Structure 1
């Protein structure tokens, strides 16, 4: 039986009905401040001059991280209970939270234009590093850690609540597995859905979403800095959709069963291997490391410090980088491609 000591009944019911749960004020302010202190330096933009903001949305690399259970203790408690207990969570892969920020600055165009979420081109479920099955546990929870207040129309993630059953049906009908790109047809039903929302939150909040809940980048009509990070919860084993005792079903498993209007799905069995691959988005993120480090070092030196004062995994030697890679699904062989030179 799954035990609940943190989530109250109302929160559990909300997750079952909507596929997501907001855990307010769950990241200590000192952790927010620690990683946000040099975000504009890393970006290379002038915070007071939007004309320098060259990109609308930026996926940044990770320089610092710490165990999620230490970084956001209350959010961690919620994560554990949503997936059926801490003992089901992988202790290495995605066990750390880091400053791989996703920054949304908007554009001048969107200041005075509305956006229809139904026709956005980037609807997706997360997971660019594994083959997706109905019971995949690699990205059991999508985590959105909020570093800045997100006001209405301020760049919050779009969520399609009634799109979740369609994702479950798509994967149930494809035991051979699927990728998560739009060309798979996985999101064709989203345009006909009706329950859309754009996330609003306070800095320090954590949004926890079911793996099969479709979402996409929201438009920032306000042109204010919106910063989130997007780690995941990885399970040791896939979801079990045919447990002998229904009381052992996690809330995440219950969401899938309810979406398919089933109490159990014993016949579902993947027909191909659970393929894991190199994360697609890592190349783009790593391409930013050199420039960010150079700006961070210049800022430290301008303040009277030195290169060694810069807090980045990429300046701590190969052993630290290897551990970083292990936590993020990158083999030790990647170290040679991660050499950076800061002059």
Structure 2
């Protein structure tokens, strides 16, 4: 996309004037590119603490020897690469504003201030569960990011997706380890904000979460509109903040440099608003949507109530069947609108609505 329009520039200046942590350049980068990496947003000592707990869990529960990379390549459930594991951590929780105040301030800057977060940000906690990607040196399965790959998705498996959804204001990714290129860094589709925003704008009734999660049938049509892909890299203590519409996927770690991150979802008090009254500042997240839609404002009117869902891995059989029926109805509805999953999607394991076309 082209740079920020002159119509939106005053709104950016207004948002930046209230920022405590982000620079104007960082704020503009987020609005135009859907993500920003804030250096040293978390104390390195905290990153080391969480990383050590992750190694302890890997050793005691997964049979991994940190000093022996040959033990790292254990098979994992589903389509995950070897060495990839979601670790539960301990029950300990850390209040973000005291544990990593710079990360908290940056997060608040992006959503329009701490007052727009649930409980004014006083209930934003991080645990110590992590997502590990241990790596296999020179793994031949490694490939650079591109559209025709499995695993692309938009986060949010627990709610109906609207343009203004408050349930996930950001995808917050603390880096608990250094991440170099080809070392398991998350792949980002930088220009995915626009196709996702257009789809949500044109679907005021909202999307079933399974349509854009996992192997969702809408993912291939969205990701094939993207051409700008990057690998998330950084140092332990950095925190990456992704727009909630950012499509991303796991990558192969073709090194023996273990990667440890997490994925947090701060919640807003109220839905996002894209037509704010004069004197009420847009958040940087909202401005990124307006930039993606090439609109100075947009009066979004949803036609269905917000709705929570039990994430698909945790549904009982009866509920799973009921949700599958709802998803099939949505597949049919999109096919009737002329939105059909591309033919290549099956080879990458995505669901398809071609049968309804």
CA 1:122–1:254 in 2, change beyond 3 Å: closer, same or farther? same
Task: Report the counterpart of residue 270 of structure 1 in structure 2.
Answer: 302
Task: Report the counterpart of residue 41 of structure 1 in structure 2.
Answer: 56
Per-residue displacement from partner, 1:28-58 (whole Å, max 9, x unpaired)? 1221222222322201311122332214211
| Secondary structure at 2:224 match in 1 | helix
Give yes or no for contact 1:94–1:232 (8 Å, CA) kept in 2: no
| Secondary structure at 2:126 match in 1 | strand
Q: 2:43 aligns with which of 23, 28, 47?
A: 28
Matched, 1:80 2:99: no
CA 1:256–1:246 in 2, change beyond 3 Å: closer, same or farther? farther
CA 1:33–1:257 in 2, change beyond 3 Å: closer, same or farther? same
Q: How many residues align?
A: 282
CA 1:101–1:177 in 2, change beyond 3 Å: closer, same or farther? same
Task: Report the counterpart of residue 85 of structure 2 in structure 1.
Answer: 58
Per-residue displacement from partner, 1:292-313 (whole Å, max 9, x unpaired)? xxxxxxxxxxxxxxxxxxxxxx
Matched, 1:104 2:104: no
Q: 2:255 aligns with which of 206, 222, 236?
A: 222
Tell me, in whole angstroms, the C-alpha distance in 1 between the residues paired with 2:110 and 2:311: 25
* Equivalent residues in 2 for 1:85-234, closer than 5 Å: 85-91=113-119, 95-107=124-136, 110-111=139-140, 113-178=142-207, 179=209, 180-181=212-213, 182-234=215-267
Per-residue displacement from partner, 1:75-96 (whole Å, max 9, x unpaired)? 1111111111100001379711
Runs of at least 5 residues in structure 1 that lack an aligned partner in the other structure = 284-343
Give yes or no for contact 1:134–1:172 (8 Å, CA) kept in 2: yes
Tell me, in whole angstroms, the C-alpha distance in 1 between the residues paired with 2:34 and 2:142: 29
Between 215-224 and 239-248, the greater mean CA deviation after superposition = 239-248
Tell me, in whole angstroms, the C-alpha distance in 2 between the residues paired with 1:97 and 1:156: 20
Aligned CA RMSD, in angstroms, stands at: 2.1
Between 56-65 and 203-212, the greater mean CA deviation after superposition = 56-65
> TM-score scaled by structure 2?
0.74
Between 146-155 and 170-179, the greater mean CA deviation after superposition = 170-179
Give yes or no for contact 1:241–1:264 (8 Å, CA) kept in 2: yes
Task: Report the counterpart of residue 327 of structure 2 in structure 1.
Answer: none
| Secondary structure at 1:37 match in 2 | helix
Give yes or no for contact 2:145–2:230 (8 Å, CA) kept in 1: no
CA 1:90–1:69 in 2, change beyond 3 Å: closer, same or farther? same
Tell me, in whole angstroms, the C-alpha distance in 2 between the residues paired with 1:219 and 1:172: 34
Runs of at least 5 residues in structure 2 that lack an aligned partner in the other structure = 1-13, 77-81, 316-357
CA 1:152–1:21 in 2, change beyond 3 Å: closer, same or farther? same
> TM-score scaled by structure 1?
0.77
| Secondary structure at 1:189 match in 2 | helix
Tell me, in whole angstroms, the C-alpha distance in 2 between the residues paired with 1:79 and 1:38: 25
Give yes or no for contact 2:189–2:226 (8 Å, CA) kept in 1: yes
Tell me, in whole angstroms, the C-alpha distance in 2 between the residues paired with 1:257 and 1:71: 33
Q: CA deviation at 1:98?
A: 1.1
Task: Report the counterpart of residue 251 of structure 1 in structure 2.
Answer: 284
Between 97-106 and 274-283, the greater mean CA deviation after superposition = 274-283
